[in-house]
A and B are shown apart, each in its own frame.
Chain A
Amino acid sequence: MSRGTPRASGYFRTDYAQDLALTQTRLERASLLAFAVILAAFPFLATAFYLDLACQVFLAAIGALSLMLLTGYAGQISLGHAGLLAAGAFTAGILFREFNAPFWVTLPAAAAVGALLGIVFGLPSLRLRGLYLAVSTLALHFVVVYLGGEYESKRGYSTGIMIDAPTIGGYAITNGRVWYFVLLVAAVATLLICINLLRSRTGRAWRAIRAHETVAEALGINIAAYKLLAFVISSAMAAVAGALFAYYRHFVSVEAFSLFLSIQYVAMIIVGGMGSLLGALLGAVFVTLFPYLIEAALQQLPNAQSYAGVLFAVNYAAFGAVMILFLLFEPLGLVGIWHRVQHYFLLWPFKHRPVAGAGK
């Protein structure tokens, strides 16, 4: 992916099928298989608590991947991602409450609402860039959350909307393990969609727009269409993640979609590493597990009980501090660290890659 990352030596692609393949070398295939086995075995070994954590990570991963498409690849900044998640969750909740709609109606409906909102969120991007775009998405976040809150209070669900578990052929998905696999499949499907989008014409167009809009336009890329497309696809994915979140929690409430959630998603792609799908996944894992790590760390301190009340404040402070540290000292995020480790071993015993062109 990144420029000139050394892969296995002596490996050259010789036909188009190899270009299309998701994995290139035997090592990659083997490690992918091992990872898949671990993922499949995990729910049978883990306790309910870790199962829940894994499910949260998958949900966050879908959201982070969609934001990565938009911000990391197409270069369109969004500070309103939580608004899109809220839109998806509320679509599912409202359709279920008002029409008793099953999940195979509400999920596509959430995607459709997300896509529609994507156009709304994306329209300012045709005129605005950078800061101003971020601000407009921020404003739209507040509007969406307001509409959700309005529905809650007008219909008398002031504490939130309850949703029953989705049923397939009379079987209700309530079991944590079943949820684990449902969300795992959803996350993997999202990842595959992202990978394939990015290596197609669409992905190339997005990267060109991010690199330089004017040049991209000169190359014949329809800027407006591709920007809107980025917003539509990203928002539809985020809305589906929101709807899944609603089903998983059996509960929708505006409180869950605060501005802090948007910040968390932005943090995921920063901490993970901009412009990398792996980064989005790593960021999702990191940000989701972070509060639990903090809690575990606080438990180790003497008189742990006294910190219970201020746990959320500690979380806020630590989260902000970590974000600042990454922005200041590791702008490439976890992926940057990972690449550095990779390079260290690939170049060993040397420290630096040879100067381009020297000795060739």
Chain B
Amino acid sequence: MQLAVNIVVLSAIYALIACGYVLIYRVSRVLNLAHGELMMLGAYLLLATAASFAGNPVAAIAAAVVLSLAVGILVYVFLMRKMTGEMVLAAVLTTVALGTLLRGLMVLIWSAQQQYPGQALGFDNPAIALPGGGRISTFAAILVVTTALVYTGLFVFLRFGRWGVRMRAAGQNPLLAAQRGINLHAVYALAWGLSTLTGSMAGMLIALDSGLTSSMTVIGLKAFPAALVGGLDSLVGALVGALIIGAAEVLSIQYVDPLLSDVVPFLVLIAMLIVRPWGLFGTREELDRV
């Protein structure tokens, strides 16, 4: 039972992060390798707002969420906007460079020590006993619920929302979308904002649950196989992929070797690339576009 709980929690983490990769890739065909760093930035933003909104945790969280949305939009406006139309590789390398820059800046500002935003906000994190003998920490439970809400929200938004439809259109055919009067830059900026927002929410919840160190970027990078296994342009895929990666990781830690935990997601990724490079739910033509 505990094993199942662990799988669900880890999968929820990966799913919440992976939808950021999917959003950006689906809309603008850019692979954002700075996602892990942006997610960590979200967690540090919570730390910063916790200090300035002392005694008012809800306001602190709300401020951090809004700030992370702004960060994503700013990243697009000031950096990635200049890379539209460039080679795909150049855009990806720009995100790599952005990640390196952010990592350095975050250590400079907040130091590399482990921090506990949960304590700063005055939250405690009691374990909840589940029927069936499993235990789950409060914030892990909140994370699972958040993931479910975020995915439901994204599905509804992309299916029925005016901007959601625009995003899908821009992803399918940027030229036609632009000719129908869709503001591509606004759509891309929105995608970056939403992606950073969801990533940051994952970062904040992980930090609230188990503290915040500079190793959080590794989690961000490990969520990437989840996005690719499911198919880089499919939200359902990200969910399924996260479940596969999460299960593979938890089971291999349990039954094979704890050291494997950092490498299992990538082994699954390689296997997937060999068998079905476009992922479980991805579109096949994707491969010829890149």
Contacts and interface: CB of A to CB of B under 8 A. Distances in A.
B270 A139 contact: yes
Contacts of B105: 313, 317
- Give the most central of B96, B112, B221, B262: most A CB within 10 Å: B96
Interface stretch (A90-98, A125-133, A280-288, A350-358): A125-133
Given A143-B263, A320-B100, A323-B100, A134 B92 contact: yes
Given A142-B262, A331-B90, 11 more contacts: A130-B89, A132-B277, A132-B287, A135-B31, A139-B266, A267-B97, A317-B105, A320-B97, A320-B98, A321-B101, A324-B94
Contact of B104 (A139, A146, A149, A315): A315
Max chain B C-beta neighbours (<10 A), residue from A130, A139, A318, A321: A139
A313 B97 contact: no
A188 to B, nearest CB: 29
A219 B260 CA distance: 45
A232 interface: no
27 contacts: A127-B274, A128-B287, A129-B288, A129-B290, A132-B277, A134-B89, A136-B269, A139-B266, A142-B262, A143-B267, A143-B270, A259-B221, A263-B96, A266-B96, A314-B104, A316-B104, A317-B100, A317-B104, A320-B97, A323-B93, A323-B97, A323-B100, A324-B98, A328-B82, A328-B94, A331-B86, A331-B90
A327 B273 contact: no
Contacts of A324: 79, 94, 97-98, 101
A319 B100 contact: yes
Contacts of A50: none
A260 interface: yes
Contact of A142 (B94, B259, B263, B287): B263
A317 B224 CA distance: 23
A320 B273 contact: no
Interface size class, chain B: 35 or more
Interface residues of A, number: 42
Contacts of A315: 104
Interface of A: 77, 124, 127-132, 134-136, 138-140, 142-143, 146, 149-150, 153, 259-260, 263, 266-267, 270, 310, 312-321, 323-324, 327-328, 331
B273 A128 contact: yes
A327 B287 contact: no
Contacts of B267: 139, 143
Interface in B237-290: 259-260, 262-263, 266-267, 269-270, 273-274, 277, 287-288, 290
A315 B108 CA distance: 10
B225 interface: yes
Nearest to B99: A320
A77 B89 contact: yes
Given A130-B89, A324-B97, A316 B103 contact: yes
Given A313-B107, A324-B94, A153 B277 contact: no
Contacts of B92: 131, 134
A267 B269 CA distance: 25
A239 B53 CA distance: 53
Nearest to B266: A139
B262 A316 contact: no
B228 interface: yes
A310 B99 CA distance: 18
A135 B269 contact: yes
Contact of B259 (A129, A149, A317): A149
A132 B224 CA distance: 12
Contact of A153 (B98, B112, B259, B290): B259
Which of B102, B269, B288 has the most chain A CB atoms closer than 10 A to its own CB?
A: B269
B219 interface: no
B88 interface: yes
A298 B135 CA distance: 50
A153 B96 CA distance: 30
Contacts of A132: 273, 277, 287, 290
Contacts of A143: 263, 266-267, 270
A317 B98 contact: no
Contacts of B79: 324, 328
Contacts of A317: 100-101, 103-105, 108
B196 to A, nearest CB: 17
A132 B90 CA distance: 14
Contact of B290 (A127, A130, A318, A321): A130
A270 B290 contact: no
A112 to B, nearest CB: 22
Contact of A310 (B94, B96, B108, B269): B108
Contact of B107 (A136, A316, A328): A316
Contacts of A138: 266
| A-B residue pairs, 8 tightest by C-beta | A320-B101, A317-B104, A316-B104, A320-B100, A323-B97, A313-B107, A130-B290, A139-B266
Given A153-B259, A270-B93, A320 B266 contact: no
A270 B90 CA distance: 9
Nearest to B259: A150
Contacts of A146: 259-260, 262-263
B225 A139 contact: yes
A263 B270 contact: no
Nearest to B286: A132
Contact of A131 (B31, B104, B266, B274): B31
Nearest to A320: B101
Nearest to A145: B263
Interface in B59-112: 79, 82-83, 86, 88-90, 92-94, 96-105, 107-108, 112
Nearest to A309: B111
